[in-house]
A and B are shown apart, each in its own frame.
Chain A
Amino acid sequence: GAGVSQSPSNKVTEKGKDVELRCDPISGHTALYWYRQSLGQGLEFLIYFQGNSAPDKSGLPSDRFSAERTGGSVSTLTIQRTQQEDSAVYLCASSLRSSGETDTQYFGPGTRLTVL
């Protein structure tokens, strides 16, 4: 079946602009995660959704970052007033999470964000 998809694949923006990154999880997966991958920091957790709620937002680096999920499916990560340090690959993952415990996360191809 279809995997996790993300759009756009690449985004170049100017410092100070807002950007929206989209994630379509695997159909039927109730859990959705956002991670950020940058050269200096490796893979960092940003936020976790179970259904439409976000029980763990602890990884969001500042209040410029927000995310929402609607219909238990698509999620959007928004970065306001982008800064050069926001340049990174943003990865989305989804999992079944039917048991309430950690299970296997499947990753999308990522969105490469470049802030000029």
Chain B
Amino acid sequence: AQSVTQPDIHITVSEGASLELRCNYSYGATPYLFWYVQSPGQGLQLLLKYFSGDTLVQGIKGFEAEFKRSQSSFNLRKPSVHWSDAAEYFCAVGARGSTLGRLYFGRGTQLTVWP
């Protein structure tokens, strides 16, 4: 069965520090991969996605993620965190070749940014 693991429930970083949020998936084939961000009281906003091609993908707000097939991982990174990045981050996978299209989400990582 498909599953997504975000091992860190809560991460705290100082403003200006680098950030890496971890995501591992279990899937029969290479899935489509997504990172979404959710601010309090808001819906999910797409940060970036991987469908194929270059395994290092760039997203909005200075985020990037790298797909590593050998590790079944799709970790999210940002070189310098801003206070406005404080939010909850969700990794999600979608089935390649499926006509159903549902996403499977990790449990989320809450990011706190210290000034």
- In Å, the complex CA distance between A48 and B104 comes to 13
Give the A-B contact count at a CB cut-off of 8 A.
Answer: 64
**Residue on B with the closest CB to A112?**
B41
- 17 other contacts beyond A55-B99, A93-B44, A110-B43, with CB at 8 A cut-off? A4-B43, A33-B101, A42-B106, A43-B92, A45-B104, A48-B100, A48-B102, A55-B100, A59-B102, A91-B43, A95-B101, A100-B99, A101-B96, A105-B103, A106-B46, A107-B44, A109-B41
Q: Name A's interface SS.
A: strand
- In Å, the complex CA distance between A56 and B98 comes to 12
What is the interface of chain A, defined by CB distance below 8 A to chain B? 4, 31, 33, 35, 42-43, 45, 48, 50, 55-56, 59, 91, 93, 95, 97, 100-110
Q: Does B14 contact A (CB under 8 A)?
A: no
Question: From residue 29 to 76 of chain B, which have CB atoms closer than 8 A to chain A?
Answer: 32, 34, 36, 41-46, 49
